[in-house]
């Protein structure tokens, strides 16, 4: 019998999978000869400046796509890449070297980027070591644009079949370009837990391990492997052996009545119909947040028919489970060229979400008509974001009713809609008992609620330690909203990042939350945590009282850690 071969690395995204491998070749960024074309200094500077413009456009598109589909936190990766394009130590230095003559734009970039990459990798701090990948990613895109090539090695991914990806290094742009629904796992030679590849793998729920340096040359020649993204190993496996990336060890066939699991619906957050594969893969019970912004991020606005198609695709796929569609949540913080949004000093407190659509009634009515029409395909709910006052809710409901009449008059079938609102502004949370008589459900957007409760910009890394979803004031407000809903016979869900936090899941169940909606990859761990607990009424009351008696977020985590089994 052949001795089993096993390689070890750092597990960064849980789950087990097995299958055929595909090695992602690195983009060849070979050093150019000194200006072989003998072009002038001005011509090389012009070439570089044009490449910068094209690269910035590409990064802006990536940033908008990821922000619409996966939220602001991940989109910051590409925002940071754009900043490199104006960094005097990078582009500025390359331009200075071009001005001295004899170099091509390619060589100037490679010299400067190479020095930056070597410097970052020489530092002891893993965070800065991993930022070398950011420089490499931007360099590759600049070189591609200089050479007139928009593609990269990920474009060569096989047209059919599922694969475990092997890569020396995995950049954010490469990861986004890969068809994630056909990726069984990632095995990367370089990188750490905070690398962008690791963050993206966790976001998409794909098993991954990084830092597999020892025996790499032998590993990358393996045709079939099995990996464990939790334990951090990869091993040789017989040809034909496949295992889906299903978080084995947590995704055993668990009865929906197990523990607290039967008390909650576990739904998925999706950003477009492309995410439907993940909804199915991770066994979501419908969609608790369908972000519609992806349709509005381009250079032209979507037609009503295009919207109907996009909404119907998700609704029909999820039926008989419910699909909750959020109306357009966009503002000065998101790039949407076709909407021609003015830049605001403080976009998170400005004209965004419902505030924007109420000011553009035709845009709003068109989306509402599309949702009414699409709702005929299956169970559908609509929710309005960024509501601060009852008057806003009244206005939105009035326009919703007018839009239904327009659909009926046009002769289209009309579906039924549950009508809800997001609770993400403290005033709405505080007055939840007043809002409850006007809606069928609440959906708590914990990202913004935390931001507004604690007065912390959630995109400001300098204040990251103050952005605390575990803060007792935030959790107390969530409990208040849920209680108001229960008293009025209105169900309450959580659709922010906290909805996918396995440590918080039992607390949410204890305060009466009925639905948790999350990134599909978070479903197995939350399902496991809930199925492993069976709290009686007095234990739920005790848990809630203990959490709300805490004075700090760290105390809350300590309390929750004693009751919540996290694998």
Catalytic site includes residue 495: yes
Cα dist from 438 to 177, 209, 416, 433, 490, whole Å: 43, 48, 17, 10, 10
Determine the distance from the C-alpha atom of residue 489 to the mean position of all C-alpha atoms in its chain, rounded to a whole number.
Answer: 32
| Distance in angstroms (rounded) separating the CA atoms of residues 113 and 91 | 9
| Distance in angstroms (rounded) separating the CA atoms of residues 60 and 433 | 41
| Distance in angstroms (rounded) separating the CA atoms of residues 310 and 6 | 44
Between CA 519 and CA 154, with CA 246 as vertex, the angle to 5 degrees is 75
| Distance in angstroms (rounded) separating the CA atoms of residues 107 and 23 | 28
Which of the residues 196, 318, 471, 528 is marked catalytic? 196
Catalytic site includes residue 196: yes
Listed residue (422, 341, 362) closest to 388, CA to CA: 422
Instruction: Judge whether 400 and 368 are in contact, CB under 8 Å.
Output: yes
Q: Cα torsion at 497, 502, 508, 513 (round to 10°)?
A: 70
Cα dist from 428 to 186, 355, 425, 434, whole Å: 42, 15, 6, 9
The terminus-to-terminus CA distance of the chain in angstroms comes to 34
DSSP 414: -
Which of the residues 471, 495, 528, 550 is marked catalytic? 495
Active-site residues, by number, are 196, 495
């Amino acid at each position: 019998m052949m001795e089993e071969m096993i390689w070890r690395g750092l597990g960064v995204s849980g789950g087990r999978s097995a299958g055929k491998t595909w090695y992602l070749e690195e983009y060849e960024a070979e050093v150019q000869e000194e200006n072989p074309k003998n072009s002038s200094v001005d011509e090389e500077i012009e070439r570089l400046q044009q490449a910068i413009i094209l690269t910035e456009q590409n990064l802006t598109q990536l940033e908008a796509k990821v922000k619409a589909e996966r939220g602001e936190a991940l989109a910051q990766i590409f925002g940071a890449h754009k900043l490199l394009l104006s960094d005097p130590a990078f582009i500025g230095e390359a331009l200075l070297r071009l001005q001295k003559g004899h170099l091509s734009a390619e060589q100037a970039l490679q010299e400067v980027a190479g020095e930056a990459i070597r410097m970052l990798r020489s530092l002891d701090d893993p965070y800065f070591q991993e930022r070398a990948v950011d420089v490499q990613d931007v360099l590759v895109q600049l070189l591609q644009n200089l050479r007139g090539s928009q593609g990269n090695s990920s474009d060569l991914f096989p047209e059919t079949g599922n694969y475990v990806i092997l890569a020396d290094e995995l950049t954010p742009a490469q990861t986004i370009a890969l068809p994630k629904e056909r990726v069984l796992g990632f095995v990367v030679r370089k990188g750490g837990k905070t690398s962008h590849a690791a963050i993206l793998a966790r976001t998409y729920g794909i098993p991954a391990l990084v830092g597999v340096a020892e025996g790499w040359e032998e590993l990358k020649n393996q045709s079939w492997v099995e990996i464990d993204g939790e334990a951090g190993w990869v091993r040789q496996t017989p040809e034909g052996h496949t295992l889906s990336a299903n978080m084995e060890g947590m995704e055993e066939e668990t009865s929906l009545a197990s523990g607290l699991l039967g008390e909650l619906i576990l739904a998925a957050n999706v950003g477009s119909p492309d995410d439907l594969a993940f909804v199915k893969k991770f066994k979501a019970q419908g969609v608790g947040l369908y972000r519609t912004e992806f349709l509005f991020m381009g250079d032209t606005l979507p037609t009503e028919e295009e919207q109907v198609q996009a909404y119907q695709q998700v609704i029909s796929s999820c039926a008989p489970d419910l699909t909750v569609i959020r109306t357009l949540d966009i503002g000065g913080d998101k790039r949407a060229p076709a909407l021609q949004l003015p830049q605001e000093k403080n976009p998170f407190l400005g004209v965004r979400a419902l505030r924007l659509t109420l000011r553009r009634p035709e845009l709003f009515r068109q989306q509402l008509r599309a949702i009414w029409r699409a709702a005929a395909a299956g169970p559908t709910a609509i929710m309005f974001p960024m509501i601060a006052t009852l008057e806003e809710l009244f206005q939105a409901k009035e326009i919703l009713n007018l839009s239904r009449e327009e659909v009926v008059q046009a002769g289209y079938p009309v579906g039924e809609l549950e009508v809800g609102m997001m609770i993400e502004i403290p005033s709405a949370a505080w007055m939840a008992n007043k809002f409850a008589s006007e809606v069928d459900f609440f959906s708590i957007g914990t990202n913004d609620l935390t931001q507004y409760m604690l007065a912390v910009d959630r995109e400001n890394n300098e204040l990251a330690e103050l952005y605390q979803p575990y803060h007792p004031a935030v959790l107390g407000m969530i409990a208040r909203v849920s209680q108001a809903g229960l008293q009025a016979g209105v169900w309450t869900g959580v659709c922010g990042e906290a909805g996918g936090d396995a440590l918080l899941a039992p607390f949410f169940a204890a305060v009466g939350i009925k639905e948790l909606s999350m990134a599909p990859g978070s479903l197995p761990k939350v399902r496991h945590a809930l199925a492993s607990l069976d709290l009686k009424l007095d234990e739920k009351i005790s848990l809630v009282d203990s959490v709300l008696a805490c004075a700090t977020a760290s105390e809350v985590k300590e309390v929750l850690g004693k009751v919540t089994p996290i694998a």
